[in-house]
Amino acid sequence: MKALFFTREYPPYVYGGAGVHVEYLAAELARLMDIEVRCFGDQDLQEGPLTVKGYPYENPVFDASNNKLKGLLQTLSTCVHMNAADIDADIVHCHTWYAHFAGIVTKLCYGIPLVVTTHSLEPLRPWKREQLGKGYDASSWVEKTAIEMADAVIAVSEETREDVLKYFNVPEDRIKVIYNGINLQEYNPTTETSALAKYGVDPSTPYVLFVGRITRQKGIIHLVNAIQYIDPGTQVVLCAGAPDTPEIAREMKESVEAVQKTRKNIIWIAEMLDKKSVIQLYSHAAVFCCPSIYEPFGIINIEAMACNTAVVASAVGGIKEVVVHGETGLLVPLEQQQTAPFEPVHPEQFSKDLAQGINQLIQAPEMREAMAKNGRKRVEENFDWSAIAQQIEALYKSLKP
């Protein structure tokens, strides 16, 4: 059997959880079958049964395009280019709306069964209009078309499955819940501290850590607003880069600078770090905080848990299926608006609640240690890539003509 992946992200160009998912799933499935990855970029790799080919995203043809539509138009163009070379796969598997149009073309032109993994859903990310303008209507159409014509839809959590049923016309028997996974050999606690030293983090003083992109979805602004309520002796390390828009980049900068006037132990690492550095930050953190306002799964939580770190996270989406309240961390209730843009009804209270959870664990080292141990165990038992790859292989075989 051979599977073809279409994806925007693949190393070295990974900026989010979907890219992490594709990287590890492709490697694990390559132990079971031939895997071809077609992605955005300049990659050109052949490692046994794994082949990776990048397709250019930047194109001078679109230099004169409307700024908010340029990204969408380049995406659709790249998806067409990814279909130009002949396709001999048994299954085509798409990841995120950026690659869905490529899957639509493949299914229509080559007659190959289509699998779509729902890493997130456009109807639940209305802030994307801030980034794409009217292009958000087009990205939503691409996603809807791909999901509804797919032969199988993989939901990364039970709640995501319910969201697919709510927002799309998909028969229940076409949706299968398969969680994200993690490389347990790579994500292990480490005693190395070179990354901490490089960025000025004091390993002898407890710190709360955030890792993620600067987006509305990740809730980073709510954590920054919570800093004023966090114990002054706790370091705050924000490993946050790749802002979605200039507007949220400016808001983040202004919010961090405002709170830095009141305390000096805030460290903002405004770049996406390599895995080894992030694993060091996870390993030495007292608490990892995930303040997302929308999160179908939240792979960053299992990364932190695998590194023996207790988690404080918002009780939304798939996070509730990953973090066990009182055992591997604390879940913070998040009352959301029922209409766009799905922000917290009481944002200040949400920030206070995040701070309260962080303070509770910082002040209870024995509880933290127990949660850290339980977290690692939970990841080992539920989120191992090898078992997840076998589930996906079985799904592929059920679709093969």
Return the pLDDT at 388. 94
What are the pLDDT digits (tens) for 359-393? 999 999 999 999 999 999 999 999 999 999 999 99
Q: What is the pLDDT of residues 192-218, one digit of tens each?
A: 999 999 999 999 999 999 999 999 899
Residue 144 has pLDDT above 70, yes or no: yes
Model confidence at 130, pLDDT cuts 50, 70, 90, reads confident
pLDDT of residue 279: 98
Q: What is the pLDDT of residue 176?
A: 97
Domain borders along the chain are: 2-181+384-399, 194-382
- Residue 244: which pLDDT band, with cuts at 50, 70 and 90? confident
Same fold: 2-181+384-399 with 194-382: yes
What tokens does 281 get?
A: 């930050």
Residue 126: pLDDT over 80: yes
The pLDDT tens digits for 52-61 are 999 999 999 9
Residue 322 in this model has a pLDDT that exceeds 70: yes
CA distance 9 to 19: 5
289 pLDDT higher than 90: yes
CATH superfamily of 2-181+384-399: Glycogen Phosphorylase B; (3.40.50.2000)
Residue 338 in this model has a pLDDT that exceeds 70: no
Name the band, by pLDDT with cuts 50, 70 and 90, for residue 313: very high
Which residue, among 212, 199, 220, has the nearest Cα to 269 in the 3D structure?
A: 199
The answer to whether residue 270 scores a pLDDT higher than 80 is yes
pLDDT for the residue 323? 97
Fold classification of 194-382 (topology level):
Rossmann fold (3.40.50)
pLDDT band at 340 (very low <50, low <70, confident <90, very high): low
Which range has the worst mean pLDDT, 254-263, 339-348, 388-397?
339-348
Mean pLDDT of all residues in the chain? 94
Q: For residue 128, is pLDDT > 70?
A: yes
pLDDT of 341 strictly over 70: no
pLDDT(24) > 90: yes
Q: What mean pLDDT is predicted for residues 119-132?
A: 87
| CA atoms of 381 and 376, how far apart (whole Å) | 9
Percent of the chain with pLDDT over 70: 99
First vs last C-alpha separation in the chain: 11
Condensed to tens digits (0 to 9), the pLDDT of residues 166-199 reads 999 999 999 999 999 999 999 999 999 999 999 9
Residue 319 has pLDDT above 90, yes or no: yes
Residue of 57, 107, 103, 96 lying closest to 77 (CA atoms): 57
Q: Is the pLDDT of residue 103 over 90?
A: yes
Residue 339 pLDDT exceeds 70: no
- What does the pLDDT read at residue 148? 98
- Tens of pLDDT, residue by residue over 12-23, are 999 888 999 999
Residue 335 has a pLDDT of 85
Mean pLDDT for the stretch of residues 211-235: 95
pLDDT at 178: 97
Ranges of beta strands (E only) in 72-148 are: 91-95, 114-118
Q: For residue 271, count other CB atoms closer than 10 A to its CB.
A: 12
Return d(Cα 272, Cα 113) in angstroms, integer.
35
* DSSP codes, 335-384: -B-SSTT--BSSHHHHHHHHHHHHHHHHT-HHHHHHHHHHHHHHHHHH-B
The number of beta carbons lying within 10 Å of the beta carbon of residue 124 is: 18
